[in-house]
Each structure stands twice: as structure tokens, then as C-alpha cells.
Amino acid sequence: MENDVTTTGAVDETQVGIGVIGGSGLYELFEPGTADEIDVDTPFGPTSSPISVGTMAGKRVAFLTRHGREHSVAPHRINHRANLWALRSLGVRAVVSSSAVGGLHPDYAPGTFVVTDQLIDRTWGRADTFFEDAVQHLSFADPFDPVLRRVAVGAIEQLGVPFRPTGTCVVIQGPRFSTRAESVWMREAGGHTINMTMTPEVPLAAELGIGTVNLSFVTDADAGLAPTEEEAAAAASETPVTHALVMERLARANEVIVRAIGSIVAAIPDDYTPRELVPAAASAAALAGATGAAAPQSGAGA
């Protein structure tokens, strides 16, 4: 039976070491009645959803759904600081995130899984740091943890699904989808996939000393990108992306996505230690709420 728990401070780190952030279409991770439900009070307001803590692949895992359980939180309104602070306060040091992405390149066709390795941030106006009043620079050349990426690549290779071990994701503001011209521009800039939520989620995790790995599922071909005649012919049957199309394809792929996440969780070493991309003392200060970060305005996480 699920328990409602409210916590306002850090929980013993022996409880939970791994977090899973579910993207669009992934709203439950554990079988009903097998997880504890926790509401974490954060200095930044409410999380997108309560956090479920249960067992996956023999490990204690904290699960949070990025858009809320009813998919009610728009991408530009997600309270990423609250989400990451809450997970870290429970002891999480490794996050496996799932994302629905559009494909900007023919090698990243709908139905393909991608272990993302690079980002291009095109968002604006989002609360993207815990260090509002302190000068603290994040080393971010390689956004995703290399140890976790190797683990994920090895795990997904065993599943026999269409798969790319690397990919650059262009993160746009949303909630609207791209124009055809924007799709072409982003592909020419080096993008392979497109998404609305990877930033500031990934850098915020890094500021708190959490390593991240992202498993993306390509649901569509974005705006029907087809810059060559050959690609135009191949894409003739592919409709430009709609929300309904994304959700339909995610629903069909849900079982495989959950299985893939379980495979990654199972392969994370018990002695995993994330990289230190900001000084550990700075991360500890952020967790303690000592960085001067302002609380979000009313409604920022709803």
C-alpha cells in the first residue's frame, strides 16, 4: 500500500541512490501498491508530481514524472529546480531520464532509441541554476555522465531495438513545435533530435552532484524534415508532428521503454560516484538552500 510522506530536509542517502525522471508517456514505473509515495517540500516550490520510491532491478529507485501524472505541466513551466532538489534530498546520485524526441536526421527515424551525449540549448527565461547570487561556473562540455552512458549503451544493445549510441539534442522552448525552416536550421547546426525539456534539467542535476544519462525515444520526424529529394520521397508518408501522434507512439513503445530503463538501472555499479562538475561544497550549499536562489513565482510548477 502506498504511503504519503512529507519531508522537508535531506533523507539518509542509504535509502535511495538512483532516480528515474519519466518523460511524456511515462507516468508509472512500479506496480500498483509496491512503492512509497513521498511529497518533498523544497525551497523552490512543488515538484511536478509526488515521488514514488520502490524497488527496480533489485535497487531502491525514486521515480518522478516530469510533466505530472496527468501530463498537466507544460514544458516551459516545469519546476526543474524543485524536481532535482527533491531527488537529491532523498540521496539520489544517478538519474536515468526518459524523453520523447523528434528526429532531425534520417539516421534518427521514428522508433529509434538514442542515448543522448550532447545538447544545444535554445530555451530562454527558465530558472536554470541554483547559484542565483553566487558566482559558480559549471563545467559542462560533456553534459551526460560518461560512466552512466557506457552502462546505458551496453544495456540497450542487448535489447535488440533500433538504437543510436550517441546523438545531439536541440532543446527548444516549446510548447509549440518547429517550423520546417527551423528544423532545417537545427539539423544544419548539428542536431540529431529535438526536445523541450533536457535543459535546464541536466545542468541543474550536475550542480547538485547528480550524474545523468538520457534515454530518448524518437516519436516523429519533427516538421517533416526533408532537405533532399531522396529524403522528401522517403518522408512522404510521415506527417508533421502533433501531440496526439507523439502520445500514440509513446503508448505503443511504453513496455519497451520501461524495460530499457530497468536494464540501465540494473547495470549501474553499486559504487557509482558522479563527476564533480562544481565543487562538492557548492553542491552541498545548494542542497542546504544556502546559495540565495529565489523561490519561483506562484504557479511556476503547476
Active site residues: 220, 222
d(Cα 193, Cα 157) in Å, to the nearest integer?
A: 20
Count of C-beta atoms within a 10 Å radius of residue 27: 17
Cell of 201: 534539467
Q: Radius of gyration over alpha carbons of the chain, in Å?
A: 18
Cα distances (angstroms) measured from residue 173 to each of 76, 205, 251: 6, 19, 24
User: Counting every residue, how long is the chain?
Assistant: 302
Sorted by sequence, the CB contacts under 8 Å of residue 240 that are 6+ apart come out as 177, 220, 221, 222, 223, 224
CA 264 vs. chain centroid, Å, equals 14
d(Cα 85, Cα 6) in Å, to the nearest integer?
A: 14
Helical H segments across the chain, by residue range:
80-89, 146-157, 180-188, 198-207, 229-234, 243-267, 280-287
Looking at the DSSP bridge assignments, the partners of residue 121 are: 171
Q: What is the DSSP track for 131-160?
A: -SSS------SS-S-HHHHHHHHHHHHTTT
Report the relative pairing of strands 168-172 and 193-195 from DSSP bridges: parallel
Cell of 107: 539516421
Cα distances (angstroms) measured from residue 26 to each of 76, 132, 181, 206, 285: 18, 32, 30, 23, 32
